[in-house]
Amino acid sequence: MAFIQKIKTRMSRKVLFSILAIAMIVLVSSFVLFSVNFLVTNLNTALTAGSGATPAEKFDIKGFEALKLVKP
């Protein structure tokens, strides 16, 4: 009778560890997929945002002279 009880506990432990292993694989794989998706989305946004050419800013010299901040 004790022999049968040992076999049952070994089988139940194997089943428990198998279930835990499958659950951990699912959790880790979902975390990895989420992280890769996050990186791809943010890299795509960062790389495409700065592709437009910005016009050069011009200094308004007459407006600066009108402020009279510097003595001639």
Verdict on whether the full-model pTM lies above 0.75 = no
pLDDT in tens, 33-58: 999 999 999 988 888 866 567 778 88
Distance CA 65, CA 72 (A): 10
Give the tokens for residue 49: 């945002």
Distance CA 31, CA 42 (A): 16
pLDDT in tens, 1-29: 666 676 677 778 888 899 999 999 999 99
Length of the chain: 72
Sign of CA dihedral 15, 19, 20, 25: positive
Sign of CA dihedral 32, 37, 39, 40: positive
Distance CA 40, CA 26 (A): 21
